[in-house]
Chain A
Amino acid sequence: MKSILPVFMLCVLLLSGCATTNQQILDIGDETQLQKRSYQSRAFETADKEKVLRAIISTLQDLGFVIDRADLMLGSISATKLDGNQIRITVSVRPKGDDRMLVRANAQFNVSPVEDPKQYQNFFSSLEKSLFLTAHAGE
């Protein structure tokens, strides 16, 4: 009987790690909304929305993504990369003041959100190169 105990405890431990439905739907993790926004956004010094969107499209294509959806008015691009696994990303662009565009990206890998700021940093540095502009911390 004693020997069952560690296994039982391990199972309880594993199950307690599972998120509830509400947590999964709202993606409530350890970080605040503001933290998420800060690593998922960058501001670029241009007022040309179309130029930024076109640069995002070609950056995503360079990264091996296939564009799923694009909308100039809404300023959003969604794309998928299939390479044995699946990465989905949505990038949105909105004006910030008169002379800046704020670019926001969020990605998911298979069935989990990408929450590593380094990944977003890599994305924005690829975007910088194709826009010939420097990214500034957003928000």
Chain B
Amino acid sequence: MILPITQQDSNTRSVKDLSVLLVSLFLAGCVTIPPDAFVVTPDLQQKRQVETRRYDGINEVDLVTASANVLQDLGFNLENSETKLGVITASKERDATQGMEIAATALASIFLFTPAAPVAAAYLIGSPAHSKDQTIRVALVVRPVIDSKGNSMTDNYFVRVTFQRIVRRTDNSIKAETLKDPQLYQDFFERLSKSVFLEAQKI
């Protein structure tokens, strides 16, 4: 419905503006699911590499136990587990305040009293909220390595782990993300390897 613009009636004009606003508000509510939400993209395949390690010469029970122990080492509380399927989920709540964010705000507040005030004010208005706290979630899955004939191998397992976090800001807005930093996963698997070693030695 496109109304031609006429000069005579300012009322019509404002009605048109209002309709446009309403329609755009209405459309903004229609965020739809990404079309490739259930397709394995090359990007996701690469994530599999980062999130997976293979452990040989250990049985499934010992590997799941070692994994649960390492999650406790990292301060996680176990949420859910189904050891028959090799699944463990855990979570923890942590502070999420970042020194940089607070420092930037403090710095901008100081600059309010200098000639750079407009820039500082724009910054303060633009990003008033800080990260406040966060829930960190982890899911860890142990699965047997499948040989070329399609059978599960004994004492050869893959461990795949994924971290997510939900960050709450001071204005109560929420940011949810899956963590992608390869270094994080590298560090995690180093700790798991240690735990597997300890488990194997029954220490």
Which A residues form the contact surface with B (CB < 8 A)?
A: 3-4, 6-7, 10-11, 14, 50, 53-54, 57-58, 61-72, 79-87, 109-110, 114, 116, 118-120, 122-123, 126, 129, 132
Contacts and interface: CB of A to CB of B under 8 A. Distances in A.
Contacts of B33: 85, 87, 109, 114, 116, 119
Contacts of B150: 132
A122 B39 contact: yes
A71 B82 contact: yes
Contacts of B160: 58, 61
A86 B33 CA distance: 9
Contacts of B51: 61
30 contacts: A3-B11, A3-B14, A10-B19, A10-B22, A14-B22, A57-B141, A58-B160, A61-B51, A61-B162, A62-B48, A63-B37, A64-B47, A64-B178, A66-B137, A66-B138, A66-B162, A67-B141, A68-B139, A69-B82, A72-B84, A72-B85, A82-B164, A82-B178, A83-B177, A84-B176, A85-B176, A110-B31, A119-B33, A126-B40, A129-B40
* Majority DSSP secondary structure for residues of A touching B: mixed
Interface string B110-153: 00000000000000000000000000011101010000001000
A69 B87 CA distance: 8
B19 A64 contact: no
Interface in B24-56: 26, 31-40, 44-45, 47-48, 51
Contacts of A69: 80, 82, 89
